[in-house]
Homo-oligomer: A and B are copies of this chain.
Amino acid sequence: MESDTYHHGNLKKALITTGLEILSEKGIEGLSLRKVARRVGVSHAAPYNHFSDKQALLAAISTEGHKQLYETLFRIFDSMKHASEDILLEIAWAYLQFAVEDPGRFKLMFSGALDEESKHPEFVEIASKNIALLEAIIQFCKEDGRLPAEALEIAAIKLWSSVHGFTSLVLEDQFPPEYMQAHQLRELLKAVVSP
């Protein structure tokens, strides 16, 4: 599958993963089409055979990020189903870690560098999968009986809003610096996810 022929083989995938690399190293400002192409070892216009736009590449990278987030959260959920600890807190903490460990990726995913993510069907799919996972987690946490569907959706939105908002504000340095140490953050997060 790997070759250095004239035809790259699977340039599309290579562009996405290399894009994630550069995103992680240089942040969102440092991510250019030409840089990705150069890194992959291909001419500056080659990406246009696979992506109509820079926007299209960014959307693909963002989608890949959402898949990674899903994987991360799902793994946590799965590994804690039989533990007694506070699952919601661990999920929220994982969300925060996901953002902090690679801010560029998180910002691309959520900070509107994309104009119309909802035009890309792959993106819509993984986004709703993430919501469904959240709902499953919440359902699981209510030991005493299931919630009605509507309440479940609302609870999921509440939880996601809180955790996402907290994470965004942390990432953007919007809190006073004395809150910004790890164990402080964890305490705050506990308050944020508690009802």
Residues of A at the B interface (CB closer than 8 Å) are 27-29, 103, 107, 110-112, 114-118, 127-128, 131, 154, 157-158, 160-169, 171-177, 179, 188, 191-192, 195
Known A-B contacts A157-B188, A157-B191, A157-B192; A112 and B172 likewise in contact (beta carbons under 8 Å) = yes
Q: Which 9 A-B pairs have the closest CB atoms?
A: A165-B165, A111-B111, A161-B165, A161-B166, A164-B165, A118-B173, A107-B112, A162-B162, A154-B191
Give A131 Cβ to nearest chain B Cβ, in Å.
7
Determine chain A's interface SS by DSSP, over half rule: helix
- Asked if A164 and B169 sit within 8 Å, CB to CB, the answer is yes
Chain B residues lying within 8 Å of A115, measured Cβ to Cβ, are 27, 29
User: What separation, in Å, do the CA atoms of A167 and B161 have in the docked complex?
Assistant: 8
Task: Name the B residues within 8 Å of A167 (CB-CB).
Answer: 165
